[in-house]
Structure 1
Amino acid sequence: MKTQSKILLLLMLAITAFACSETDDKDDQKPVISMSGTEVFPNNCDTLYFGEAFTFRIHFSDNQELGSFSIAMHNNFDHHSHSTEVTECVFGPVKTPVNAFTFIEDYPIPEGTKEYEVNMSVEIPLGEGTIPFDEGDYHFFISLTDKAGWSTQKGLSIKILHR
């Protein structure tokens, strides 16, 4: 009986030791997209222009390691919502797209990075061939994924116009 009790006690101690050490390095937190700071661009309700480049500036962070990010722009002519910002923007009238602009790009973040400042030029073309893109309300969507697979998103309402 004493032998069985000792074996059972040792087994319980071993299980407890292994259970505690396995979770110490586990990443269970989403990465952070920081919209604070004067240099962040674009912000909710900002205006961009067809045929021009703008500088996308933002700060990303993660408790362990960042993975990649993507940006997407698509029309919001029907005023659908997936904005993550509290600021309400003034929208143009609801309309049917004829030649709406769409942009989707993925970008890697260097290995081992916990903090990353994005400062990159993004070109918005005038149109497709000789047909100009539809101006009006658009969404600017930022998605950030860490190395463990956790992700977070920010959706902004913007306008893209012709000068």
Structure 2
Amino acid sequence: MSKKNILSILSILLLFVVACSDDSDVDTEKPTIDISFSGAFPTNCDTIYFGEPFVMKMKFSDNVELGAYTINIHNNFDHHSHSTEVTACNPDPDKDPVNPYVSIDDYSIPEGSKEYETNLTISIPESDGVELYDDGDYHFFISLTDKEGWSTQMGLSIKILHR
């Protein structure tokens, strides 16, 4: 056989080996958010108070590696749904927002973590410095992403009130 034929056969074999490589190490699972344990907070229908810090306790897990999470707090005065709420709560009557609180914050998770329990102190200010924020029905929306980019969302219906 000529060198040209041997190189052609080796090239075809190499292409076949590469094309048939095992893709079993590719992460195809979404991460999970767990609020079913004792001490989890907030959970659906909980009340949070403006100006009073609280500790967010949730368990995050992934089969390979966690990435980051985002917390989005926004009003639910019109009782919209994100299709991720666990159960329906007792909503206040619909109302138009005047000075609603809104917050979107991103948080990292230590590299290499397959499991992570949040212990994040959050304080929602009473006002924007000029007037009090509207109290009532809000969504506490969590988005968890793993290192591969898969994400899971959980929307909790909560109340944020002034004491």
Q: What TM-score does the superposition give when structure 1 sets the normalisation length?
A: 0.88
Helix, strand or coil at the partner of 1:55: strand
Helix, strand or coil at the partner of 1:106: strand
Deviations 1:119-142 (A, max 9, x none): 110011001113000000000000
Structure 2 residue 62 is the aligned partner of structure 1 residue 62:
yes
Q: CA deviation at 1:88?
A: 1.6
Query: Aligned equivalents of 1:20 and 1:54: distance in 2?
Result: 52
Q: Report the residue type matching 1:141 in the other structure.
A: F
Q: CA deviation at 1:18?
A: 3.4
User: Displaced runs of 4+ in structure 1, greater than 2 A?
Assistant: 13-22
8 Å contact from structure 1 (residues 74, 102) kept in 2: yes
Q: CA deviation at 1:77?
A: 0.5
Deviations 1:21-43 (A, max 9, x none): 34121111111111210121000
Structure 2 residue 72 is the aligned partner of structure 1 residue 72:
yes
* 1:24-103 correspondence to structure 2 within 5 Å: 24-103=24-103
Q: Report the identity percentage.
A: 59
Match of 2:4 in 1: none
Indicate how the Cα distance of structure 1 residues 53 and 121 shifts in structure 2: closer, same or farther if over 3 A, else same: same
8 Å contact from structure 2 (residues 86, 155) kept in 1: no
Q: Which runs of 5+ in 1 are unaligned?
A: 1-6
Query: Aligned equivalents of 2:87 and 2:50: distance in 1?
Result: 24
Query: Aligned equivalents of 1:108 and 1:53: distance in 2?
Result: 21
Query: Aligned equivalents of 2:67 and 2:90: distance in 1?
Result: 35
Q: Which runs of 5+ in 2 are unaligned?
A: 1-7
Indicate how the Cα distance of structure 1 residues 107 and 42 shifts in structure 2: closer, same or farther if over 3 A, else same: same
User: Which has the larger strand fraction?
Assistant: 1
* 1:130-149 correspondence to structure 2 within 5 Å: 130-149=130-149
Helix, strand or coil at the partner of 2:98: coil
Aligned pair count reads 157
Q: Report the residue type matching 2:121 in the other structure.
A: S
8 Å contact from structure 1 (residues 83, 157) kept in 2: no
Indicate how the Cα distance of structure 1 residues 83 and 41 shifts in structure 2: closer, same or farther if over 3 A, else same: farther
Query: Aligned equivalents of 1:86 and 1:55: distance in 2?
Result: 20
Indicate how the Cα distance of structure 1 residues 158 and 83 shifts in structure 2: closer, same or farther if over 3 A, else same: farther
Q: Report the residue type matching 1:43 in the other structure.
A: T
Query: Aligned equivalents of 2:46 and 2:77: distance in 1?
Result: 16
